[in-house]
Each structure stands twice: as C-alpha cells, then as structure tokens.
Structure 1
C-alpha cells in the first residue's frame, strides 16, 4: 500500500525541469531508440548553456545526427517550448516527421505550398503558428526552398529552436547576397537559437565555417574581414591555429566513426556492387528517341516555362523506368489535356513529385497549358501507340536474370533471402509485382508506395491491426500503420519488397541486406537515402547493391559511372560515400546538371563531352584541400574521447534505469489493482513495460512519461498535492527488498516530521526545479536527504489524522539551508556560463582589434614594397604614378590609424552592451512552493 502523498512526491520528482544532464534522462527514458553515448554527449553539448545561440553537430556520417537533434527537440518540448522549426532538404521531410513521432512521440506538421495556402484560406494569419492554424502545436518541418520563400512569416514566430539538417547548404552564407537562401533565412531567423547538422561544415576554405557560425551567432567571430585577416593567412602561426581549434570546440562538436567503434557502440559493415547490363529492343530505343526529342523541343507550347524543368525531368524519369509506365503516363496526359485539365495527375506516377515540386518552387497544378497543347496531342498519341506495341521489356528481363545471382551473393555474405527493389514509378511497381509473381515468386511479394490503395496491402494492414489490437504498435495514423504493417510482413513472410521513393521514407529495413535499384535516381543523396534503408548501423551483414546499365543509352551509362566511380556510392565501408556527398554543393544541383545534359545533347559525342566536363568540375571540388583542413580544424583526436564516451554510456544507463524504476514504482503506487512483474505490469487488460525494446518484442505498451498512461499518472499524481492536510503516515520497513533501505534501519520504531517543497530557480532563458525534502525524528535527529527520500518510497498507510499537527519551523529552517545550497550551486553554474560568454566576447573584440592591427601592418608593408619598386623605375611618368600610389596608401594607412581608436571605443561599447544583456539573462528568481508536510512513523516489522 502507498499513499497519495508518496505518489505526488514521486510524480513531481519524475517531471522536474533542470539542467540538461538531469532533465535529459526523462527524455531518453521516453524515447524508442537505443541511445549511443556519443549521441547523448552531442545533445548535452547542444543544451549545455542557456546563453548559447546554438551549435554545429558535425559527427562523421552514419553516427545518427538525426537522433541527436531529435533528442534536443524532445527536451525542448518537455520544457513546454512549442515553437520548434526543422528546415531540411525536401526529400527528408517525411523521414524526419516519422522519426519524431515513432521514436520520440513528438507531433510534427510538414508545411508546403498546398497546406500553407489552405490554412490561410481557412483564416490562419500565419500557418507557421501551428496551434492557431491547425488546432494543436507541433514541430514545424519545411524545406529550405519553402522556408526562404516565406521569410516574413518565419520572422513573425518567436522560435525556441531552429534545426537545420544538411546545414552545409548554408555554408556559402559568407558570400553575402549571392547566397540567397542562406541570407533570407539568416534575416528571418536572426537571434533565434539554432542547431546545425552537417558532417562537412566546410568544403574549400575556412570562410565557409565562418559563415555557418555567423548564422548561429554573429558575435562569435569578428567581421568576415577580421576573420580572414586573422585565420585565413597563407602561413598561419601554430599558436593562432590552436587558438582557433579551442574556440571552435565551444560551438562545433565532431565525433569520429573510429572513436565510436572503439566504444563498441556501432559495427560498420561493407557494401558490394553488382551490375547487370541490358540493351533495349529497337522499338524501345525508338520510343525513347522520339519522346526525348519532344522534350528537347524548345518550341513546345504545352509546358509552361516556369515548370519546364519539373515536367521534362519527371517524364524522362518515367520514360527511363519502363515502356509500361510511360504508356500509362501518356494516356493520362492525353485524357486530361483533351479535357483542358492541368497535368498534375498525369505526373503522379512519379511518387516523389511533391518533393520535386517543392524543390523547384512549382505549384503542381500550374504545370501545363492544356489549350496550347491541343495541337500536340496527336504527337503524344503517336508515342502512346508505339509504347502499346512493345511486348518485351529488356530491363525487366535483366531483373529476372540477376535476381537469383543477387540472392546467392547476399546469402554468401550471411544475409537472408530478402530483397528490396526500388523504382521511381508506381506503374512500374505494379508491373514488376505481376512479372515476379509469374516467375516463381507468387505470394512472396509486398509493395510499398505513397498511398498503398491496392487490395493486398489493405488486407495486410487489416490483419496487422487485428494482430496488434490493444498494443502500443498501433499509432492510429493510417500511413504510419500501413508502413509498419508492410515492413513487418516483409520481415516475417515476404521475400521481396518493391518500393517507390515516397513509400520508403522513414522505414528501417536493416533485416534485409540486398537492395536493387531498378530505376536509378540522378540525385546522389536520394541514392544514399535508399541504400540507408538497409545499410545503417544495426545492420549485421554486408550489403549488396544491384544496378542496371542501359547499353543502349550513353547518358544513362555516364550517370552510373558518375555515381559509382566519382561519388563511390555502391562500394566500401558504411558512410564513406556521404563524406564525398557532403563535399559537393547539393544533390539537387547535380540532378539539374544531369537533366540539362539530357535536354541539350543530341548524340553520343555531345553526351561524353558534357559528362567529361561535369566530372572535371566535381573532381576539382573533391580534390580540394577540404579533408585535411576539416580534420585538422574540427577533429578532436584526444585519447580521452573514447574513455569519456564510455563514462557517458555507464552514467546514462544508470540514470535511465533509476528513472524507469521510479516510474514503475509510481505506477505501483497509483494502480493498486494492477498485476506487477519485474519491469512490467498488467492494467485494464494491457501489459505495460518501461523498456521499449521489451515492450515491442512482447507486443506490450511502452510506458513513457510524455504520453499515454505514463503522462496521465504524472499529471494525476501532481494534481492537488499542495492542498492535502497534514497527516500521519506509517511506513513499513519490513516489506522492501533486502538491503535496499538499510540506511533507515537506525530509525526503525521511531517517529517524526517531514516536509517537501519544490524550489524553482528561474532566469530569462531557463527554469531549474529541485525537490527539497527534509525530515527529523521526535528525538531531534535529522535525516539526511537520501534517508528522507528513501522513506517516502517505502510502503505506507495513512493513520488517523486527528493528532497530525506539527510545528514546521524546524523543517522550514532545514529546507532553507537546502534551498540556499541549491541557489549557490545555480549561481556557480551561472558564473561559469557568464565566464564562457565573456571569454567569447573578449575573443570577438580581439578579432576586431587584431584585424585593425594587421591591416595597418599590411599597408605599411605595401608602402615599403612600393617605395622599393619605385627606385628601380626610369621614366618620369612611372615615377610620378608610383609616388601617387604611395601617397594613396599612406592616406589610407593614416585614415585606418585615425579610425583605430574610435573603432576600439565602438567595440568596447558594443561588448559592454552585450555583457549587460548576458547579465540580465542570468538574473535568478528563486521561488519555493510547499507541497506537503506529514508526521511519520517507521514500523520495524
């Protein structure tokens, strides 16, 4: 038996707001993810100081920066901060949304052109304010392109945190107006706390890193000119270089795969490439040639100029997928255009059309002029007749040839006989399903796409819902449940899963180690995303990646060569390819370059020349001095890193275990009718487990503190606690695990008084809460805080409260001592924060001053060199010109020297103002709240 006082105490203890290391435990305990120590370390780094305007998390690829950022977002949500923004590449929006809800139970809303307009039409002033626009708060997810187009609306929201994924997209910010997206986002989000994620925050020079840091905090370094003058000199002194490294350690954290491997946290497997050549039939080649020439024709009236890239790209991708797919697309195009309807629905066979449209800034409904197309419909009908006449598909035949060989290869590497096949076309997907069923794979195939409206998928979902009825597996969101059902079906029953791009977002297929690219995207980041469905940490086996090479299309051959040889996507150790991907500007840009080649080139010679030029461009970027600069500046190679990560692991596990035990005890206190086991209990016909892995495997519900039954227990436990009267509680020392409460043995048979308070220490940017518990015996002995807290976890019963009066003055005195100690701790912490920020500002001011000194020295040297050169001149005119040049340099030097002291005054004044702002942000306001007081008796046996 337990009492209302105890459950209230424990509910408060389990939901305190605090400094990152303590508060993060709650978030981790409620997450469905195996947290690696480096990920906890990165989240703590991002949450370390309330004064920070943000950090860069630059772990090497494959180490789970998504988990790190999600952990930070979940912590902010736990602190009741609801203005959270995620800016990501368009292709990653759905994946982020699913990761947040499935792993951290965080609601999110993807904002794009269509639902943004709908919300405005429904009366929402600013759809970025999700609570007012959509009725509930949520993490907002949008693409870089969309965010930059909504600069004014973004700026109107007081964001608590902005996360930029693939943040190297912003690294040209230092170039000013030429980096339009970065500049717009900087203006819209200035002063908002930011978290930047990028494995490669600099590519060619340190100015790129300066740009990213300036987006976070414009006062971290001096001006760009000051930064270049101090750190971008050809022969940088060792002392300056080390000082730069030390400064970067406070804002940029990078962990290496090697370090994580040494902790035993992640095992990296390899990927192997298989290729299968095929040659299209004469009819297939003719169809390709005719449609390609049509798309290359600049005089086409049907496709609106603003959508030309989008429409021609999508039709080309469908054309490359299969003659069956292009036949269907042509039919839909003709039908819609004859009815003078927009072309959007005709392009939906390409399942990732929404992502592409967002990247291009094109409204899908505004792609084609149906009236102008009337004259071209007959041409499309001719293409369709040719497509109808094609009986055999050469690439499909190649799939049948290679599938058995690929299965054998995967099995030799230890994998299961399972394959995931990727296509970019929904029609091709259904054709492949039929083809494989007709060739020995009937009953062994599942399909996954953006809608899954087919009868087989619906039946799989229905059976899955029945199987998991009442369990925590069912989310209630049809799309998420459909994906979960199909992935489970693939794992347990099917042999082949045929996926489109949209269908595969956010799924984990690491139980499969064979991936077949039936259609190969041109965007290398999309390719890597696909491979990442199977080749991720947790994959036990080496992975086989199969690609097809079209020997009848030179451009297709060169695309494969670019992705395979130059970007190294298909072979090597996990993550190696991402290191290269991060060093190039963007996958979207590469896709655009390739599309332009397809649109321009009429013959093999032109194609080879264009691809040679494109490869030379990327080679120059990839061969740049990136790697050495990045490693030397960002990587912390201290021998203590691995030791530190191991300590973090032990500490995190202990904290989470303690938290889970307390949460289970709270359930025991508040659900006396439930049937309890070691880590789980049966309540209202459902099993609940505090360990998410065990809950999943046993089809139980995961008891997490931030939703469902766990959140209800915490809320009900805390409700009305402070209104409870003083009462007498009798605690039972006999009915506890042996030795667990040995610290209370000396008080057996005694009685006394106990009081609990909550102390809140609030600043402008942070709230830290503590529970203060004190108790003393009637004989005058004081229980230390550990003994008092343990007392409240013993089984107890409420006695008659008639004599439960007490003089709380002694308890208040003891609690005041505790509160003052907590206040002193907080002040020391604030002192550390202030020291860190003031040192940063000192460095910022020093940058500005040193830049002035360097500029004066440079001018002195230029004057000296110009004078020396002038002595060698022979003509009078040359001597006069040299004299004028020297005078100009001297005047500029004199102006800089005159400005020097004024500039130093301006720097000092700005530094003083910033320090005042920091001081105001750290001002502590303590507040104590009495929760309850009791008289206690400790029953010995």
Structure 2
C-alpha cells in the first residue's frame, strides 16, 4: 500500500543512525525550550516601542504603532505584556468578537448612530476599532486580518513582530500606513532572531534583493508584479527550511533562489514595460520619459547640494572613496552615498537623505545660523568648473546676498528659497539677475573674519526687487493651480455623472421589481403571501429613499 511505500522510501533515504541523531537533537531542543522562563522577544518589543515613541515625540510625530503578528495566540500574549508595560492598545483580528471589541463598538455606535445604522455588522466593527485606535490608544495589535482594507495614514510606525515569507503580505502590511494623506516617513521595524541563519537570509532577501522596505520609491511594485505571476515565493522558502540543516546548505539554497528570482523579475519587468509602452499613446510615453529624466536631474542636483552642505560642516569627517559620490563617514558603520543606490549596494551603503541623523543635524544647524553681525565671504571663481562670462565681470567687486523664502499655499504647500544679490558699481548697489545669483551660490567660497553691522541696501529697494521676482513666479503657480483645480473639478463631475447613472439604473430596476410585486400581490388570494409581498414593497421603498 501507499503507506508502506512511503516508509520504504524514507528508510532508504535516512539510516537508523541518522534518525537517532535527529531524535536526540529534537530532545535537546525540547529540554532547552522547557528551561525558557522569559520571552526576550517580547521584552525587546516593549523596549523598541518605548524608544520609537520617544523618537516620535522628539520629531512631533503621532505616538502610534501598528504591530502585526501571525496568530491570535501570540496576539493574546502581546496584549498581556503591553498591559504590564502600561501601553494602551486596540486588538484587531478576523473575528473581533471579544468583550473589549464589543465595548468599543457600543461606544462608537453611540457616537456615530447614523453610520452604525447602515453597513454590515463586520464592517461597522472594523470601523469602530480603527476609530478607537485613532482617538484613544497608542497601538493597533493586529493579526493578518488588519493587512487589508484599513486606512491608517494617521500612523507611521509598522512593526512586524512575526515576519511573513510572502512579499505581497509584507507590502500589504506596510501599505496600511503608506497611503494617500500620509505626510510622514513610514518606519518599518522587523523582529529578527540574529542567531538563526535561515531567518537572517530570508530578511536579507526581502530587504536587499526585493527592496520591500525602501519606502515609496522602492522597486517592490515591479518585483511584486513579477512574483504574482506563477513564482510561489513562500513555497520556495518553506522548501529551504525543510530541506536544509547547516548554514552552508542554507547559503547555497538561498543563493540559488536569488538567481531564480533575479531571472524571473528581469523577464517579467521587461515584459510589463513593453506591454505598457505598446498600449500607451505616444505623447504619454514621451511624458513618462521626460518625467523620468527630470526626476533624476532633480535628485542629482539635490544630492550635490546635500554633499556641499556636509563638506562645509563636517568635511574633516568625510573620507572620499574611488566613487566620487560615496564617502566614509567617521563613526558610522556604513559608507554614505550621495546618489541613487545600485542593486548590489543595498544593505551595504547608506543613502544620503535629509532625514539621515547626521544630515538632519547639519540642516538644523544651518537654519539656526546667526547673521548679526552680517558675515562676509570671498567667492573663488577659479573653482567654478564651467565658464560663465557674466561672472568674470564681477571679479574684484563686492556685494550683498539676501536669501528670501516664498511660501505658496495652493493645491499643495510649496517653499521656494531665492537669493537676491546686489553688486557694488561705483558708489551704488545694483541687483543682478536671479540666474547669476543662483550660480554664485554654487561656487566655492571661504568665510572672512570681517563682518558688517548693517546693510547699505535700503529696505524699499530690497522689497522692490523681491516683488519684481515674485510676480511672474506667482502667476506661474496660479496658472498651474488653476489647471489642477479644473482637472480635479472635471474628475469630480465625471464621478457624479457616473454615480447618477448608476443610481438611475438602480431606481429603474427597483421600480420594475415593485411593479412586478404589486402585480403578484394583487393576483394572490393567500393573506400570508400578500403580507410577504407588502414587506418586500416596504423594503424596496426604503432602498429607493436612501
């Protein structure tokens, strides 16, 4: 029979000696597990939460976090330790039928009676629990049930207490907070047993190869799209866990999986891009290419500005490498790159950005610089890599540079910092073009000891130049905001037109149904049946009134 065949197959694969060794190893695990009296993973969670909330408080972020776990049993354990740590939490899972959940629902029902009167019971319960998390508690403690359909843009900390092997599930978890309306950087904390070689390799694969935790501009969208079509990632991981026993075996298996992933992702990504471009209007395709070029150019300029600022403040702590855009930062484990990272650099090199601890400190120090008395600098035109003839005419002359900030509140809030430069000619200071002012700020300069107590530029002259620069800028943004407003108005109108058609269609169907029920009621001689028809008519009338 099939059982005996399976037994013979196992017998041939594993010797009695091998099986005995396996049994002794399992017994040792059991003895080791029975001696565990404290859950250090739970303790680390409490420590991490308090540290994250402390950092959130410093940055004036909401002190809220979403904790994902795989089972209700683990959820119950975490609830107990969170309670001991005096942290407030809301429990969310597939059933949501606990006593606490019902209490939360009753409070929500009293607060929003109209919302509670419509919709399904399960949807209302979900809404009540999310409302409780938003208004009353610090933590949403959820199973995988909370990975879909929830809008948690008011929270920006996601903790994977149990890390699933399925990349789509991880992306769904992060997506609860990474939603439209999220104005803060989303922090993702993953719990990992660093002594478990297999777990380390799984996280490395998810983080460095699939770039799942790179935030909004990671490559996970392309990768997940490729994986969805036939590549069972979770199954492959399970096979590795079941078949490998030594770190060396795990390394070989994960390396093979990475190679297969790379091939699958490359083929599928190219295929999807080809389909997209072949089925897209040429003008739209050209817009994609133009936007891609402009975005890369903006990122490049921004990185150069960050690098210049860092060199100005901490130049002695930055050691160059053969790659001119990568520097070794004294006191930090990873080098820092002032450009987009290559695939092979993820996890090995840190990406420079304005929220990087060192750069954030430099920006804050720069913003708090004192300009009274007014400092002076000497600009070295010889250090400018490009030739600008208008700048040559400024050699040996003196002037004043003022930095003004324009805040535009429209569809979005935007800030523009503009330099206004006045150059001395004879006994008078004349303003120069905005383009030349911008160019001056990109050239290397050295601070002098000499300072000035006041500016020779009169306030009305300065305001006049400012207003002259500001007028075309505001007109440009006004036109852009009008276009965006018109586009949004058009979108809303199309939505309501579509909605009106759907409502009209629904009313016609209900009227037809009402006509048919009236006809059947009038033809029925059975009183009980006529009552049922009447009840259906009342339900239809209520539906039409909504």
How does the TM-score come out when normalised to structure 2? 0.50
Tell me whether 1:506 sits opposite 2:203 in the alignment.
Answer: yes
Tell me whether 1:733 sits opposite 2:381 in the alignment.
Answer: yes
Structure 1 position 654, deviation (Å) = 1.7
The equivalent residue for 1:772 is 418
Q: Secondary structure at the match of 1:507?
A: helix
Partners of 1:772 and 1:815 within 8 A in 2: no
Structure 1 position 748, deviation (Å) = 3.7
Q: Specify which of 395, 398, 404 is matched with residue 757 of structure 1.
A: 404
Paired with 1:808 and 1:789, the residues of 2 have a C-alpha distance of 22
Structure 1 position 773, deviation (Å) = 1.7
5+ residue gaps, structure 1, are 1-76, 93-110, 129-141, 156-173, 192-210, 218-353, 360-476, 487-496, 522-530, 544-572, 576-634, 904-941
Structure 1 position 666, deviation (Å) = 1.2
Against the structure 1 CA distance between its residues 653 and 766, is the aligned structure 2 distance closer, same or farther, given a 3 Å change threshold?
closer
Tell me whether 1:709 sits opposite 2:358 in the alignment.
Answer: yes
Tell me whether 1:806 sits opposite 2:456 in the alignment.
Answer: yes
Q: Secondary structure at the match of 1:656?
A: helix
Against the structure 1 CA distance between its residues 786 and 537, is the aligned structure 2 distance closer, same or farther, given a 3 Å change threshold?
farther
Structure 1 position 836, deviation (Å) = 5.6
The equivalent residue for 2:120 is 176
Paired with 1:766 and 1:712, the residues of 2 have a C-alpha distance of 26
Against the structure 1 CA distance between its residues 870 and 818, is the aligned structure 2 distance closer, same or farther, given a 3 Å change threshold?
same
Q: Specify which of 239, 245, 248 is matched with residue 517 of structure 1.
A: 239
The equivalent residue for 1:744 is 391
Paired with 1:81 and 1:636, the residues of 2 have a C-alpha distance of 47
Q: How does 1:378-457 map to 2 (within 5 A)?
A: none
Q: Specify which of 690, 700, 711 is matched with residue 338 of structure 2.
A: 690
Partners of 2:517 and 2:537 within 8 A in 1: no
Q: Specify which of 298, 307, 316 is matched with residue 655 of structure 1.
A: 298
5+ residue gaps, structure 2, are 1-55, 106-117, 136-147, 154-160, 165-188, 211-232, 244-252, 270-276
Partners of 1:758 and 1:770 within 8 A in 2: yes
Against the structure 1 CA distance between its residues 890 and 856, is the aligned structure 2 distance closer, same or farther, given a 3 Å change threshold?
farther
Partners of 1:145 and 1:181 within 8 A in 2: no
Paired with 2:254 and 2:281, the residues of 1 have a C-alpha distance of 30
Structure 1 position 788, deviation (Å) = 0.9
Structure 1 position 791, deviation (Å) = 0.8
Paired with 2:536 and 2:78, the residues of 1 have a C-alpha distance of 59
Structure 1 position 733, deviation (Å) = 0.8
Q: Deviations over 1:735-768 (max 9, x none)?
A: 22133x55634444443332102233468x9643
Partners of 2:407 and 2:416 within 8 A in 1: yes
Structure 1 position 696, deviation (Å) = 5.1
Q: How does 1:455-494 map to 2 (within 5 A)?
A: 482=194
Partners of 1:90 and 1:143 within 8 A in 2: no
Q: Deviations over 1:192-219 (max 9, x none)?
A: xxxxxxxxxxxxxxxxxxx959x799xx
The equivalent residue for 1:914 is none
Against the structure 1 CA distance between its residues 703 and 187, is the aligned structure 2 distance closer, same or farther, given a 3 Å change threshold?
closer
Paired with 1:121 and 1:699, the residues of 2 have a C-alpha distance of 38
Paired with 2:382 and 2:104, the residues of 1 have a C-alpha distance of 60
Paired with 1:805 and 1:890, the residues of 2 have a C-alpha distance of 83
Against the structure 1 CA distance between its residues 538 and 121, is the aligned structure 2 distance closer, same or farther, given a 3 Å change threshold?
same
Paired with 1:518 and 1:684, the residues of 2 have a C-alpha distance of 39
Tell me whether 1:719 sits opposite 2:368 in the alignment.
Answer: yes
Q: Secondary structure at the match of 1:638?
A: coil
Q: Specify which of 115, 121, 135 is matched with residue 84 of structure 2.
A: 121
Paired with 1:785 and 1:519, the residues of 2 have a C-alpha distance of 63
Paired with 1:83 and 1:533, the residues of 2 have a C-alpha distance of 40
Against the structure 1 CA distance between its residues 861 and 657, is the aligned structure 2 distance closer, same or farther, given a 3 Å change threshold?
same
Partners of 2:374 and 2:452 within 8 A in 1: no
Paired with 1:788 and 1:536, the residues of 2 have a C-alpha distance of 50
Q: How does 1:174-573 map to 2 (within 5 A)?
A: 176-179=120-123, 182-185=126-129, 187-188=131-132, 355=162, 482=194, 499=198, 505-508=202-205, 517=239, 539-541=261-263
Partners of 2:373 and 2:452 within 8 A in 1: no
Partners of 1:148 and 1:184 within 8 A in 2: no
Against the structure 1 CA distance between its residues 675 and 877, is the aligned structure 2 distance closer, same or farther, given a 3 Å change threshold?
closer
Paired with 2:299 and 2:500, the residues of 1 have a C-alpha distance of 48
Paired with 1:682 and 1:894, the residues of 2 have a C-alpha distance of 73
Partners of 1:511 and 1:534 within 8 A in 2: no
Structure 1 position 771, deviation (Å) = 0.8
Partners of 1:91 and 1:355 within 8 A in 2: yes
Partners of 2:420 and 2:437 within 8 A in 1: yes
Against the structure 1 CA distance between its residues 480 and 775, is the aligned structure 2 distance closer, same or farther, given a 3 Å change threshold?
farther
Partners of 1:732 and 1:795 within 8 A in 2: yes
Paired with 1:774 and 1:882, the residues of 2 have a C-alpha distance of 85
Q: Secondary structure at the match of 2:365?
A: helix
Q: Secondary structure at the match of 1:670?
A: helix
Partners of 1:152 and 1:188 within 8 A in 2: no
Structure 1 position 794, deviation (Å) = 1.8
Paired with 1:517 and 1:216, the residues of 2 have a C-alpha distance of 35
Q: How does 1:127-142 map to 2 (within 5 A)?
A: none
Partners of 1:681 and 1:689 within 8 A in 2: yes
Paired with 1:152 and 1:813, the residues of 2 have a C-alpha distance of 65
Q: Deviations over 1:173-208 (max 9, x none)?
A: x972245764445554789xxxxxxxxxxxxxxxxx
Against the structure 1 CA distance between its residues 535 and 177, is the aligned structure 2 distance closer, same or farther, given a 3 Å change threshold?
farther
Structure 1 position 710, deviation (Å) = 2.2
Q: Secondary structure at the match of 2:455?
A: coil
Partners of 1:688 and 1:700 within 8 A in 2: yes
Paired with 2:152 and 2:86, the residues of 1 have a C-alpha distance of 33
RCO greater where, 1 or 2, for CA within 8 Å and sep 6 or more?
A: 1
Paired with 2:355 and 2:488, the residues of 1 have a C-alpha distance of 33
Paired with 1:870 and 1:154, the residues of 2 have a C-alpha distance of 44
Against the structure 1 CA distance between its residues 480 and 771, is the aligned structure 2 distance closer, same or farther, given a 3 Å change threshold?
farther
Q: Secondary structure at the match of 2:418?
A: strand
Paired with 2:469 and 2:259, the residues of 1 have a C-alpha distance of 45
Paired with 1:751 and 1:717, the residues of 2 have a C-alpha distance of 24
Q: Secondary structure at the match of 1:517?
A: helix
Paired with 2:96 and 2:543, the residues of 1 have a C-alpha distance of 41
Against the structure 1 CA distance between its residues 855 and 639, is the aligned structure 2 distance closer, same or farther, given a 3 Å change threshold?
closer
Structure 1 position 863, deviation (Å) = 6.0
The equivalent residue for 1:570 is none
Q: Deviations over 1:414-457 (max 9, x none)?
A: xxxxxxxxxxxxxxxxxxxxxxxxxxxxxxxxxxxxxxxxxxxx
Paired with 1:846 and 1:824, the residues of 2 have a C-alpha distance of 33
Paired with 1:851 and 1:698, the residues of 2 have a C-alpha distance of 51
Partners of 1:760 and 1:769 within 8 A in 2: yes
How does the TM-score come out when normalised to structure 1? 0.32
Structure 1 position 83, deviation (Å) = 2.9
Paired with 2:452 and 2:360, the residues of 1 have a C-alpha distance of 34
Q: Deviations over 1:269-318 (max 9, x none)?
A: xxxxxxxxxxxxxxxxxxxxxxxxxxxxxxxxxxxxxxxxxxxxxxxxxx
Tell me whether 1:666 sits opposite 2:309 in the alignment.
Answer: yes
Q: Specify which of 433, 437, 452 is matched with residue 784 of structure 1.
A: 433
Partners of 1:507 and 1:533 within 8 A in 2: no
Q: Specify which of 794, 799, 810 is matched with residue 443 of structure 2.
A: 794
Paired with 2:352 and 2:308, the residues of 1 have a C-alpha distance of 12
Against the structure 1 CA distance between its residues 646 and 143, is the aligned structure 2 distance closer, same or farther, given a 3 Å change threshold?
farther
